[in-house]
């Protein structure tokens, strides 16, 4: 049964996919259970953790609905939760991220007051292992052309919410993706649905060495490329969007080259860089200089200041 909502606010469904995030998951759960929102439907979908996660989940007793069963990955766990829920608004919050106090009330109120909006996202801070703020997420007002062309995901996933009608129209998360399922979904939804940006902090996204996008930069880059190749092969792509293909593919191959470079996969990085140049040969790229120097270039770049989180957004 859905929670009652005497203020006529929409019910918000939150799914937390979980696997061995025992150091963080209590903070995540509490950030949802402590919300001052009258209509929250919450599930934790654990993939079979072997750390202290299950003990933490059991400690909540009847306060929390949770499942622990094998799944095929994060997207599969989220999709299971969404299909077994009823909320008008849906989202997911990973087991190492957390909401700000009052975030869901601001989201629910916005959707109630703006029935024309299908997807809403807010600001988000990037925090480290201990919760110390490192920087603000590079959010910006929604511009579909910029999202596609510059290949940077300026929608912070923990602070993004969508109407269930979007799922019913374009389908669920792509379960073959493990690193960029959110970016892929925004690209798909942007073709037919209205997005809105709420310039208020709603959540914090935690980055640490065990975060899968950081730990698997090379695979992350490959998924970006596959996502864009499929996006631009879509038969229902508007002509205006299709005209962006050369520049967008150049940019996405450059990002993949960057990811492979930092992952130490220099040969693969050169291959991506070459494809980037072939799509848009008029643009010079700094990474090409480092690649030309081989391992010395990699060591030189390592000594320069960089933000490893940029590979996730």
Instruction: Indicate whether 120 belongs to any domain.
Output: yes
Cα atoms in the Cβ-side hemisphere of radius 13 Å centred on 116:
1
Whether 237 and 264 map to the same domain: the answer is: yes
Residue 107 belongs to some domain of the structure: yes
* Residue-range definition of the domain harbouring residue 121: 12-208
| The predicted structure's pLDDT at residue 108 | 98
pLDDT tens per residue across all 313 residues of the chain? 454 455 689 999 999 999 999 999 999 999 999 999 999 999 999 999 999 999 999 999 999 999 999 999 999 999 999 999 999 999 999 999 999 999 999 999 999 999 999 999 999 999 999 999 999 999 999 999 999 999 989 999 999 999 999 999 999 999 999 999 999 999 999 999 999 999 999 999 998 666 655 557 889 999 999 999 999 999 989 899 999 999 999 999 999 998 888 888 989 999 999 999 999 887 767 776 777 777 877 777 776 655 544 444 4
Radius of gyration of the chain (CA): 20
Q: Which distant-in-sequence residues (6+ apart) come within 8 Å of 199 by Cβ? A: 122, 123, 139
Contacts of 302 (CB under 8 A, 6+ apart): none
Q: Please report the DSSP string for 214-258 in residue order.
A: HHTHHHHHHHHHHHHHHHHT-TT--HHHHTTHHHHHHHHHHHHHH
| Strand 119-127 with 195-206, pairing | parallel
Provide the token pair at 244: 């962006």
CA atoms in the 13 A half-sphere facing the CB of 230: 14
Q: Are 76 and 49 part of one and the same domain?
A: yes
Question: pLDDT value at position 272?
Answer: 92
Residue that finishes a domain, picked among 162, 177, 208: 208
Q: Give me the pLDDT at residue 292, please.
A: 73
Cα 196 from Cα 148, distance rounded (Å)? 17
Query: End of a domain among 208, 232, 258?
Result: 208
pLDDT at site 113:
98
- Residue-level length of the chain: 313
The pLDDT of residue 243: 95
The answer to whether residue 2 sits within a structural domain is no
């Amino acid at each position: 049964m859905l929670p009652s909502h005497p203020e006529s606010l929409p019910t918000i469904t939150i799914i937390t996919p979980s696997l061995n995030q025992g150091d963080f998951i209590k903070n995540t759960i509490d950030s949802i259970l402590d919300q001052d929102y009258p209509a929250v439907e919450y599930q934790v979908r654990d993939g079979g953790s072997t750390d202290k996660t299950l003990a933490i989940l059991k400690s909540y007793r009847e306060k929390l609905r949770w499942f622990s069963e094998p799944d095929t990955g994060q997207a599969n766990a989220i999709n299971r939760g969404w299909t077994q829920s009823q909320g008008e608004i849906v989202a997911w919050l990973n087991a190492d991220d957390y909401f700000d106090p009052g975030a869901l009330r601001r989201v629910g109120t916005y959707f109630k007051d703006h029935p024309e909006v299908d997807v809403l996202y807010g600001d988000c801070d990037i925090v480290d292992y201990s919760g110390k703020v490192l920087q603000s997420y590079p959010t910006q007002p929604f511009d579909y052309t910029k999202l596609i062309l510059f290949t940077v995901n300026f929608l912070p996933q923990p602070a993004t919410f969508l109407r269930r009608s979007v799922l019913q129209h374009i389908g669920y998360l792509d379960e073959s993706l493990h690193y960029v399922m959110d970016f892929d979904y925004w690209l798909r939804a942007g073709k037919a649905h209205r997005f809105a940006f709420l310039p208020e902090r709603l959540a914090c996204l935690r980055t640490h060495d065990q975060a899968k996008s950081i730990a698997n930069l090379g695979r992350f880059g490959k998924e970006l490329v596959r996502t864009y190749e499929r996006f631009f092969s879509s038969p229902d792509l508007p002509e205006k969007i299709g005209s962006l293909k050369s520049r967008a593919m150049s940019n996405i191959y450059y990002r993949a080259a960057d990811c492979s470079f930092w992952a130490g996969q220099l040969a693969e990085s050169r291959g991506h860089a070459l494809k980037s140049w072939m799509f848009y040969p008029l643009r010079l790229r700094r990474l090409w200089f480092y690649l030309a120097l081989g391992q010395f270039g990699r060591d030189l770049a390592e000594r320069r200041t960089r933000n490893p989180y940029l590979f996730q957004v």
